[in-house]
Structure formats: structure tokens, C-alpha cells
Chains A and B, each alone.
Chain A
């Protein structure tokens, strides 16, 4: 295959060739980096919450009067929820996992806030809390009913002598050691014993505590005149039971109202939505860029073929076969696309580097670059395939026609 006529044809229309190469380069840079980011977002969404959020829901209750008795109200509400068909377990909670509703705090290894510490969400609940959360104990034991403290109104900062922590929290406090039975201290230097360790699940999000760091407290909330009810249902029934519960509870007690009520799935979707939207946007725009680039190659090649019919006719007249004409145009296109891919690799790496610097994203995985190069090379050539074939059907007689 003689490459010189191909090169000379390209050099004749240098600017046009460079423009197409630039398009390919930008398309490659976008494809590679967008794919990388999308992959990351998907991974983030797929991160396990440690909860069966599709079978759980939360109801937030608030008293309507200043002398609202949260304790007895919560007791009644939880009792009702536990009695419902299809409910596996229900418990009061001070924090709704997967949301910002709740509180967090710090545990210290030594009194006076010395010796190291870890921050985690504070999840106050009763002895059925673990079951409701679906949290699996891997060491120690659950709270006993007698250990649960019921907070009266205004009881803001009650001491708890024992807590259960997640694995991550345990590891954060006692890396490499067994946290079970250890004593830690709260802000007020009160000693707290870790009586149980559960498998990781996500607690409060958005307010500075690492998501898997959770401290479970044996407390029924009520100090603020509001509380949450966490409910776990049989598989697939969360939505339905939530509606039923809402209807009943709304009417059953005039001293309090339902603040809000959602499945935990809803909260997970909320958490994911920014990443999901970003991924969608990236995919759409990348697809469009690829489409435009390919259409551009297709259109331009078709146009060029129709402009150069005389040249093609001449080629055929001097003995080129149809195959040779096709190869000529495909080779022209391959050189342009190849040039574009080359430039694009540098561009992609540059953009990837810049993204990691500016926005703290991890460094671009070269695997993505390789796949991107392959994709762009293939579709870039495919786009010119049909016009190149059309070129082959130009009759040799065109060479001699002048008008």
C-alpha cells in the first residue's frame, strides 16, 4: 500500500485534517475522563450501607404542645408498630441512618479528652434496635431491656455507662486491638464500656462523622419533644406498611403529629441522586460528543469523496482496483484519526491530572485510556467506512470528463 499519495492528499488539505484530528482528540479526552468519573460514581452508589434499606422505614414524630409526653407517646407508637402484620421489628431511634437527622459526637480513649478519639454518629435506641437495624453482632452482647434509659423532657445530656459500636468505630478507637470491654470517655469524662461490636452500617451522613462510625446508645429519645421510629418489615412490604402505619398513627394521638415518614430506600435515593445525576449527565454529553465526531467524519469524508471524483476516476483509470480506492480513503482517515488519538491521549492524561489536582479525584486509570483509544479508533474508522465504499463506485471514465 503506497502511503505517499495518501499523505500528499492529506497535506493538500492540512487544515481540514487537523480539525478532524482535534475533534477526535477532544472526544477521546472527554470519553476517557467521563467514563472514569462515571465508574467512580457508580462504585460510590454501590457501596454497601450495611442496612436492608429496602425493607425499612422511619417515621418522625413531634409533640404539638410544650408539655408533650414523648416517653409514653413513643411507647405507644412503638408498641403499635410492633403489633402490625408484616413488621419484623420496630424501635425508637435518635438518628435516622442515611440522613442528616440525628446527632454525632466523640469518644475519647482517656479522660479529659486525651489519648486519641474518634467521631461517630450517635444512635440512641432500645434493646430491639439492633434487630430493627439488622445489625449483626460480631462480638459481645446486645443491651438488656433494663439497661435502656428513658429520657424525660429536658434531659439533654444523660450519661450512658455502656454502648455498642460498629467495627469501623472500634477500629478507629482501638486499631489492631480488641475493643470489646474497653472503657472510653465522653466529653464530660464519664466512663463508657463497649459491650458489643456490630458489623458496619451507615449512620448519620453529612455532618462530619465518617459514615460507618456509629455509636449505639441504650436510650429512648424524648428530651426534645420529638423522636423517630425505625421499622423493619418483611421483604417487599416497607412501602405498603409505611402507608398503613402513617394513616393509623396520624389519627391515634392528638398530642403529636407525624413530622415526616419515608422508607430508607427513599433516603438512599436522595443520597445517591447527585452522583446519579452527574453520571447521567456525563454519559449523555459524552455520547453526544462521540456522535458529533463520528457524524463529522462521515459527513466530511462523504463530501471529500464527492469533491475528488476526478482524482478517484484517474486512480481507477490508471489501474487501481475498487479495493485500492477504499483502502486509500480508509488509510487517509486512519492517519487523521490516529493523529487525533495521539493528541487525545496527551489531552486525556492532562485533563485527568488536572481533575485529580483541582478536585481531588483519584488519578486516571490507564485502563480507561486504553479502552478509550480502542473505541475511538474503531468508531472513527467505521464512520468513514461507507463513504470510502461509495468512493469505490466512482467510474474510471470520470477522469476524462472535463465539464
Chain B
């Protein structure tokens, strides 16, 4: 029976090729636009570590300038800055609260001494602690992280990103070999696999759409070499900061901290720890702003930092408006077609078709249209994403965006199939409802 219905559907399409093309084309265009926009939106607002969303927390305390004219965020004066000073970071990092913690900053780095690379390679360096890799589920191709003892040293150990390793060692297993980092000999303990969380949730103090840093060293190398941070660093206060020692003793903030707190109890303990530290420092004359200590999980962190641009949300709504227009178009055309075919439907009723069978026959036509439109839409969507990729790759803050997102695609296809079917339901149902005798009066 279904085969019969589909044969009738094809017949119907051939009767009005122009309109059929318009319907399929419109659906396809609507779906492909939604696919492109959804993918971009999803990629831009997605949580790259969603499986750990309830476990990872950004640790922030507010030791900023108490003068009300001088908030850190001028458009959100109540918000605490994203980074900590050296003093606060050290204290919090050394808290006895069980659970992994990580502190990090960015240092300027120059790599040299690798075989085959004559020219030194500059490399923004992530100076961080050993738990960085396990906390953020960073995959390793060779080797692994350094250990806590190396953090304390600090030991001259280094982890390379895949791209760096490809460039310096041709992609071979370089664990155990050494390179010169800022003139000092460092031993490679690990090489990362492909890893590109978008957005770069753990460090959004510079563009959230940049790649993770190409090399990693233990955090204490910064103080050890008295190397000023190369990322975002902000200071306030009247005390002059002229030397590195003064810098790390000042209120300048340049360190980000994350904590892994899997249970509510752990979170409560950490919060209490922060609060009591705040209280004692407040008594000593620091932390003059109202208490503003937070543990923020990743999804909230992304939202607070305004990572999803309003542009992409506007475009998403526009895409759905477009799909709506396409669907309305389709309903209108289907309605007209089915109503014109009503006499034939009436005839079939007279010859013994039940209302349900007429409805199914026309629904099959709608379903065929929807499948055709969805398939074409998928193809167009893939093409569209390639175009968007080219558009974004040529510039803009989003770098190499728009990898095909399977979840979004499934969603878009389901949306298209369901919405087209829903669109066709009304016309199909209307045809079946008409009394057969109405169209048979030949006089």
C-alpha cells in the first residue's frame, strides 16, 4: 500500500514540476540555513567540557580597587575579576581541600635547540601546575604530565602540543629529549594529541577563540626566571611596582585558578576556605570591596564572559524565521494542490477508500517531499558550512570554526522532517475530510 501511495506521490509531483521544485527547494534552503546557523551557534556556545560541567569551577576572589569609580568591569561593576594575584593564588592553591586544583598564567617563550630547527621558535607558554592535564581531560599522544614534585622544583620539564612537536621533531616521539626554553634546557615529558576546546573556556582573558598554548611548563618557572606574564595582567593601587619582586607581592592580578570539586560538600568547604581567607585579609586591610568570592562552573563561566555573541543568537532566530517562511510556503502550495486534487480524492472515496486511506495517501506525498527536501538540505548545509568555514578562516575572532557538529545536524534534520510533516498534516487532513459526493455531481 505504501508503495502505491509513493507511486501516486511521484505522479502528483510530475504534474506540477515547477511547484514541486519550489517546495523541495524552499525546504532544502530553509533546512540548510538552519543547519549552518545551528552548527555555528552550537560551536560558539557549546561547552567543550560539558561532561565535567558540574565538577570544574573557576575560582575568583575580588581584591580589586575599592573606589566605586573604578570597577574592574565597567559594564558589570559588581563582578569579580577573572584572575588572582600571586599571593591569593598561592594561598588558595595550597588549600588542604581535597580535589585537584590548577593555577595558570601565560609566559613568553622562545624554543630552540631542537634538531633541524635553526631558527628559534617563539611559543606562548602556559605556565601551570601538573593537574592541568588531568582536570581538563587533555589527551596525550606520547608521555604524560609532570608530577607534583616537578611543580615544586620547579623541574625543567616541558610538554609540547602536537603542532609544536610536529614542527620541531617531525611528529616523532620526543619524550626524553630536550629543548631550550628561553635559553634553559628543558626535558620533554609529554606530547599532546589534537586538542582544541572551543571556546578556550579555561582561559578567556585573551580571546576565547584562540588555540591552547603550544607549550606547557611548571608554573614556578615564571617566578624562578622573574619572567613577567605575557597574557592579560592588570594592576591597581598607588604602590609603585618596579621590580618583579614587587610585582608578585602586589595586587596585580595575572593568575587564573580552577578547582575540581565533585561533591557539594567539597564545594562548600572550598567556599568556606575562601571566605575565611577573605575575612582574615580584610581585617589586615586588603579585600576592601564587598565580599565577592565565587566558584563558577563552566557553563555559567561561559555565559558570564559573554562568549556567545548576540550576533549568533540573532542569526539563529533569523534562520528559524526563514525555515518558517519556507514551511508556510509549502503548506500553501500543498493546500492548493490537494484541494485541486479533491475531486480525484472524492472519486477514490466513492470507489471505496476510507478517510484514513486518503489521508495516508496525501501524507505519503508530504513525507516524500520532506525526505527530498531534507536530503537536499543536508547537502546544501554541508556546502554552506564549507563556505562559512572559508569566511571565518579568513579572519575574525573565531579562527577555524565550524567543524561539522553531528548532534546539531541530527537535530536540524529531525526538525526539518517533523516540521515538514506537520506542515503537510493540515492539507492532507483537509482533503480526507471532504464528502465524496460533493465532487461527483456531474450536472
Contact = CB atoms under 8 A, between A and B. Distances in A.
B392 interface: yes
B418 interface: no
Contacts, number: 166
Interface string A14-26: 0110011011001
A156 B310 CA distance: 38
B283 interface: no
Given A15-B335, A359-B310, A157 B325 contact: no
B182 A285 contact: no
Contacts of B425: none
B332 A26 contact: no
B328 A274 contact: no
Given A226-B108, A273-B395, A303 B325 contact: no
B72 to A, nearest CB: 9
Contact of B328 (A23, A225, A302): A23
B238 A187 contact: yes
Interface string A355-369: 100111000000000
Contacts of B115: none
Interface in B148-189: 182-184
Given A224-B228, A225-B108, A296-B329, A156 B324 contact: no
Interface in A342-376: 355, 358-360
Nearest to A292: B26
Contacts of B73: 208
Interface in A221-255: 223-226, 250
A15 B336 CA distance: 10
A147 interface: no
B139 interface: no
Interface string A277-298: 1101110010011001101100
Contacts of B18: 299, 302
B401 to A, nearest CB: 10
A55 B26 CA distance: 46
A144 B247 CA distance: 31
A9 interface: no
A288 B235 contact: no
A303 B236 contact: no
Given A23-B325, A63-B110, A282 B122 contact: no
B409 to A, nearest CB: 19
B29 A62 contact: no
B182 A187 contact: no
Interface stretch (B196-204, B286-294, B312-320, B365-373): B312-320
B110 A300 contact: no
B394 A303 contact: no
Interface in B216-243: 225-226, 228, 230, 232, 235-243
A65 interface: yes
A352 B135 CA distance: 44
Interface in B241-276: 241-244, 247
B340 interface: yes
B120 A16 contact: no
Contacts of B332: 16, 19-20, 23, 296, 300
A64 B332 CA distance: 69
A257 interface: yes
Contacts of B339: 13
Interface string A166-195: 000000000000000000000111000000
Given A66-B182, A66-B225, A293-B325, A288 B33 contact: yes
B315 A19 contact: no
Contact of A292 (B29, B311, B318): B29
Interface in B21-35: 22, 26, 29, 33
B391 A280 contact: yes
Which of B110, B207, B244, B326 has most chain A Cβ within 10 Å? B110
B248 to A, nearest CB: 12
Interface of B: 16, 18-19, 22, 26, 29, 33, 65, 67, 69-70, 73-74, 108, 110, 112, 119-122, 182-184, 206-207, 225-226, 228, 230, 232, 235-244, 247, 309-311, 313-315, 318-319, 321-322, 324-326, 328-329, 331-333, 335-337, 339-340, 391-392, 394-398, 426, 442
22 contacts: A13-B336, A15-B335, A16-B335, A16-B336, A63-B110, A64-B183, A65-B183, A113-B65, A117-B70, A156-B242, A156-B244, A187-B236, A187-B237, A257-B110, A270-B395, A274-B309, A280-B391, A285-B319, A292-B326, A295-B22, A303-B337, A355-B314
Given A299-B22, A303-B337, 6 more contacts: A117-B69, A158-B242, A187-B235, A188-B239, A225-B108, A277-B391
